[in-house]
Amino acid sequence: MGRETNSDTIVRADGVTKTFTDEAGEYSVLRGVSFSIAEGETVALIGVSGAGKTTLLQILGGLDKASSGSIEVGGRDLNRLPATALSHFRSQFIGFVFQFHHLLPDFTAIENICIPGMIRGRAKKQCVPRAEELLNVMGLDRQANHYPAELSGGERQRVALARALFNDPALVLADEPTGNLDGENSRQLLALFKKANKELKQTFLVATHNERLAEGMDRMLYMEDGRVARRS
């Protein structure tokens, strides 16, 4: 799993389009998106609301399909992966962090972090050491047995990040991860992204409106008119 890419390019999108069709007709959200991300980079994805950031992240993470164009993630051509291989790819290769933490309310912090391991068929007992290590990285040792309702918003989002990192994904896709956090908690989350990037070697692509978060990444990709341009 993980890091066996052919080159040090981890994401390569070439001419990616996405068109939605509804009652009102066809709507092209992505109109030829091309960019690449090197392994180990932290990249911000910025652009106004509705620019297509979420759509692009979902396609990169194998949750949605492009209408045309090619996408390689970790050397795999996502258009050519059959559904079973795609779900395998997602669980091994991608970590998702969303605006809403999506923690399971009836599970403790440590149990929530273990879930990606349990989905892959490991017993809870086998998952605990890894979950404890991640709790420690996140500065949440004391909250291991707290339920989501007993955590602050910032702590919940750090548990969600730990859960995303559980399977040691090569690529972390985060969609407005600080959208519900105050300034201090946003700063903490940024620091943890950088720490995971440095110590655990994860590559990050982070869609965000938070300027400080965007500026904390190595570089920015700017979405406009269904395309992506490089910034800074």
Ligand X SMILES: Nc1ncnc2c1ncn2[C@@H]1O[C@H](COP(=O)(O)OP(=O)(O)O)[C@@H](O)[C@H]1O
Q: Which is nearer to ligand X, 99 or 112 (CB)?
A: 99
Residue 55 in contact with ligand X, rule: CB under 6 A? yes
Among 10, 16, 29, 137, binds ligand X (CB under 6 A): 29
Distance CA 127, CA 137 (A): 16
Contact 38, 205 (CB under 8 A): no
227-231/219-224 β-pairing: antiparallel
Among 7, 8, 20, 80, binds ligand X (CB under 6 A): 20
State the CB neighbour count (10 A cutoff) for residue 85.
13
For residue 138, CA distances in Å to 129, 144, 154, 157, 158 come to: 14, 11, 11, 10, 6
Residue nearest to Mg ion (CB): 54
Write down the residue that tokens 């389009």 correspond to: 17
Distance CA 67, CA 109 (A): 38
Among ligand X, Mg ion, none, the one that 50 touches (CB under a kind-dependent 5 to 8 A) is ligand X
Residue 54 in contact with ligand X, rule: CB under 6 A? yes
Among 42, 54, 91, 143, binds Mg ion (CB under 5 A): 54
Among 10, 11, 44, 51, binds ligand X (CB under 6 A): 51
Q: Which of these ranges, 42-50, 101-109, 111-119, 177-185, lies near ligand X under the rule CB under 6 A?
A: 42-50
Contact 193, 200 (CB under 8 A): no
For residue 71, CA distances in Å to 25, 106, 169, 196 come to: 26, 37, 18, 25
Residue 99 in contact with Mg ion, rule: CB under 5 A? no
Residue 177 in contact with ligand X, rule: CB under 6 A? no
Contact 163, 115 (CB under 8 A): yes
Q: Which of these ranges, 51-59, 87-95, 128-136, 140-148, lies near ligand X under the rule CB under 6 A?
A: 51-59
Residue 53 in contact with ligand X, rule: CB under 6 A? yes
Q: Which of these ranges, 21-29, 34-42, 89-97, 130-138, lies near ligand X under the rule CB under 6 A?
A: 21-29
Chain positions contacting ligand X, by CB under 6 A = 20, 22, 27, 29, 47, 49-55
